[in-house]
Amino acid sequence: MFLRKRTITTVGLAVLLAMFAAGCKKKVPAPPPPPPPPKVEAPAPKPAAPTVAQFSAEPSAIQRGQSSTLRWEVTGEVTNVSIDQTIGVVQSTGSRRVLPNDSTTYTLTATGPGGTTTASATITVTVPPPPPPPPPPPPPAKTIVERLSSDVQDAYFDYDKSDIRGDAQAALTQDASALKSILADFPNATISVEGHCDERGSAEYNLGLGDRRASAAKDFLVQLGVPADRLKTISYGKERPVCTEQDESCWQKNRRVHFSPPQQ
Amino acid sequence: MKRLAWIALAVAGALAALSGQEKEKATIDIIKPPGGHKLRIAIPEFRGSGAAQSFMGAFNETLRGDVKNSGVLEVVPDTMYPKTIPQQPSDFRQPPPVVETPRSRRDELVAPPNGGGLWMTDWSGPPVTAGYLAFGYTAVVNNVLVLYGYLYDLSRGTPANAQVIGKQYLASSVDDAGARQVAHQFAADIVTLFGGKSLFGSHIYYVHQAGFRGPKEIWAMDPDGKNQRPITHYSSLTIEPSVSPDGSKIAFTSYTKGRPAIFVFSVNPVRNLGFYNQDASMNAQPSFTPDGKQIVYSSTAGSSGQLCRIFIANLDGSGFRPLTSSRFIDTEPKVNPKGGTIVFSSGRSGPEQIYMMNMDGADIERLSEGSGEASNPSWNPDGQHIAFAWTRGYAAGQFNVFTMDVASRSYVQLTHDEGKNENPSWAPDGVHLAFMSNRTGREQIYTMLADGSQVQQLTHDGLNFSPAWGQ
């Protein structure tokens, strides 16, 4: 601006000199009209700063994890619009979906020849209570072998007999509950009801006696509600003793019904 | 002298009366040869020419053993034999004509002249006093082991008339096995002449278990315990073998498919012939009918599981029908080799006893006397005697082997105070029995004569059960 004033003054002076030079050689005419005042450009009127017609967040209150939409409209002479919180430079008019984790105030800055305008919009983020923790994983399930071993006991018989005597009735009654539970937990399994004998009778006869013991035990269990098609009887006669001493204590241990997973 | 004889007779009579309860009929009928008392045979050690000599230990052991075991001849011990052994007919010499017994000046008897073994009278006279002489030798001829075997009837006076057997036997290999083979054949020829039946070529099938609670398989061996070899390889519990009358097949029970089921195999070659098992918790204890075309067995089929009945079916298991209907345990059916009846074990009257019925399952009668437990019945080929295991006189489980004459129900105890003795099985000669005994602490298989004598242990390794002796 300063420079322009000097230039105007210099040009004005030069014009005056030129006019005096031309007038001095002849008679003195009537004085010319005074020169028009020098043309001075009026400075451009300073423009207004941009106007933020709108800058809002909709909705303004959310729960963590939800989104909100920023809308803005900037009018006037705009050269640059930007929004903070990593949104950056944007168009003058627009909208943006945001997912703030916490309550956030967004500031819009609009810049133009007339200046800079800012506006802000706040999203309030409430944190919902945390979901309840997942329940602890159940302990690793026992195999059917472990369940049979721990929950189902053998039943014992008198010599050369397959009757279910008193103590065997009690044992098999408990076994019925345990077996029903096991069979429910293992829907594809069948359980072997093994019949065994002590070592005294002939091996051939004992094969038949062991079978009768297994059948008698199975019938008893079925009457207590254990599904019949899930129990399979097998006799081992005297082939699989649990002890070999030749005394009544060992013989009694061998005269038994035992429960095991079926062979493949 | 005479008085002593009378006293001896009286004592013997008293002893016989005391031994009283058991009737001797059963035994004597079985093994007494037609003549009345056993004939004496001398069997000197045979020698082998050249390379053959190394196999003669096996040869002599087999020849002597087979003849002795036949039960029809008494083999004179070789401590009595003369010094020189003839090996071929031309070795024999004729004694000079009889002269007065020479006497020394002091009137002492001088030993009569003898041929040192080359006179027939050296063998027929004392101390050998044999009725027959077996002699010969072996040689390797053109890479074949040959036995030149002779049997002389010493009553015939001269070698020219005495020959009863004069034969070459050719072995299929030049080794101990070949030597045993020709010894078996020679012994068979000898024994047959005296009404005996050679066991050569028969087989004992049995259950072998390498160690306690290990798998059980069916094995086979020769009647002298040689050539023990496995037949099945199921690595399971495989038990209860029986043999078809012609020896071509065996049947047995196996857990290989889970529950006890019946299998029928040919033995030469070893092949599964297939058997239909009824849907049951137990199909077991198969045995053959005399014509070999049907199987009788024990099964829990067709019941709620409380019944263990005897069935009869075709060889492949088809066409089955029940023979018994009791609500107790009927097991171990065995058809009479002469047909018509079946013996079996049953718990129908309490502890197991032995019963007999006809082929339709009718006319059931108890054979065993009723005390203790009686099981494992086995028919003699004569169809008139059985052998079985019985606890009579002992605690439960302490079985001994007995024989019984079925018609009279008289019985004889063959084993005494020697552990458990079970599963007797008659040999095809009707004179020998195989059985299982745990007298040494572990179950092993033995043979003996039908009078309980000549007990021989055939197996030694692992545990061995349930012999079934067949052709």
- Which residues on chain A are in Cβ contact (under 8 Å) with B465? 203
- Which residues on chain B are in Cβ contact (under 8 Å) with A160? 347, 350-351
Domain membership of residue B16 (yes or no) is no
Please write the tens of the pLDDT for every residue from B389-421: 999 988 888 999 999 999 999 999 999 989 999
| Gap from B167 CA to chain A (nearest CA, Å) | 47
User: Of the candidates B193, B226, B248, which is a domain's last residue?
Assistant: B193
Domain membership of residue B215 (yes or no) is yes
pLDDT confidence of B46, banded at 50, 70, 90?
very high
Domain membership of residue B84 (yes or no) is yes
Q: What is the pLDDT of residue B113?
A: 73
Which burial class, exposed, middle or buried, applies to B419 when counting CB atoms under 10 A from its CB (0-12, 13-18, 19+)? middle
Candidates B352, B425, B435, B463: best to mutate against A (most CBs of A within 10 A) is: B352
Asked whether residue B177 falls in the same domain as residue B214, the answer is no
Asked whether residue B317 falls in the same domain as residue B386, the answer is yes
Domain membership of residue B3 (yes or no) is no
| CA B427 from centroid of its chain's CA atoms | 4
* Closest chain B CA to residue A231: B281
Q: What distance in Å separates the CA atoms of residue A195 and residue A251, rounded to the nearest whole number?
A: 14
Asked whether residue B184 falls in the same domain as residue B213, the answer is no
CATH number of residue B76's parent domain: 3.40.50.10070
* pTM, full prediction: 0.71
Across the range B72-93, mean pLDDT stands at 92
| Gap from B281 CA to chain A (nearest CA, Å) | 6
Q: Where does B310-385 have alpha helices with state H?
A: none
CB A235 to CB B260 under 8 A?
yes
Asked whether residue B175 falls in the same domain as residue B281, the answer is no
pLDDT confidence of B200, banded at 50, 70, 90?
confident
Asked whether residue B146 falls in the same domain as residue B276, the answer is no
- Structural domain total, chain B: 2
CB A219 to CB B308 under 8 A?
no
CB A202 to CB B281 under 8 A?
no
Domain membership of residue B450 (yes or no) is yes
Q: For residue A88, give both structure tokens.
A: 């950056």
All structural domains of chain A, each given as residue ranges with its CATH number in brackets, are 51-126 (2.60.40.10), 144-260 (3.30.1330.60)
pLDDT confidence of A16, banded at 50, 70, 90?
low
Domain membership of residue B14 (yes or no) is no
Asked whether residue B75 falls in the same domain as residue B222, the answer is no
Domain membership of residue B211 (yes or no) is yes
User: Of the candidates B136, B159, B193, which is a domain's last residue?
Assistant: B193
CB B213 to CB A159 under 8 A?
no
- Which residues on chain A are in Cβ contact (under 8 Å) with B262? none
Asked whether residue B316 falls in the same domain as residue B424, the answer is yes
Q: For residue B140, give both structure tokens.
A: 């390797």
Q: DSSP E strands: which ranges in B71-228?
A: 73-75, 132-141, 144-153, 163-170, 203-209, 216-221
| Amino acid letter for position B456 | Q
Asked whether residue B237 falls in the same domain as residue B379, the answer is yes
- Which residues on chain A are in Cβ contact (under 8 Å) with B217? none
Q: What is the pLDDT of residue A15?
A: 64
Please write the tens of the pLDDT for every residue from A95-122: 999 999 999 999 999 999 999 999 999 9
* Residues contacting B214, CB < 8 A, separation 6+: none
From the list B300, B375, B376, the residue facing A211 with the nearest CB is B300
Asked whether residue A5 carries a pLDDT value surpassing 70, the answer given is no
Asked whether residue B240 falls in the same domain as residue B152, the answer is no
* Closest chain B CA to residue A248: B396
Asked whether residue B207 falls in the same domain as residue B145, the answer is no
Q: For residue A224, give both structure tokens.
A: 């207590």
More confident residue, B274 or B393: B274
Asked whether residue B379 falls in the same domain as residue B448, the answer is yes
Asked whether residue B153 falls in the same domain as residue B215, the answer is no
CB A209 to CB B300 under 8 A?
no
CATH number of residue B276's parent domain: 2.120.10.30
* Closest chain A CA to residue B353: A205
CB B305 to CB A215 under 8 A?
yes
From the list A200, A205, A235, the residue facing B281 with the nearest CB is A235
Domain membership of residue B5 (yes or no) is no
User: Of the candidates B193, B217, B242, which is a domain's last residue?
Assistant: B193
CB B284 to CB A204 under 8 A?
yes
| Gap from A153 CA to chain B (nearest CA, Å) | 22
Contact status, residue A184 vs residue A230, Cβ threshold 8 Å: no
Q: What distance in Å separates the CA atoms of residue A222 and residue B359, rounded to the nearest whole number?
A: 37
Q: What distance in Å separates the CA atoms of residue A168 and residue B307, rounded to the nearest whole number?
A: 21
Question: Domain of B327?
Answer: 203-470
CB B281 to CB A239 under 8 A?
no
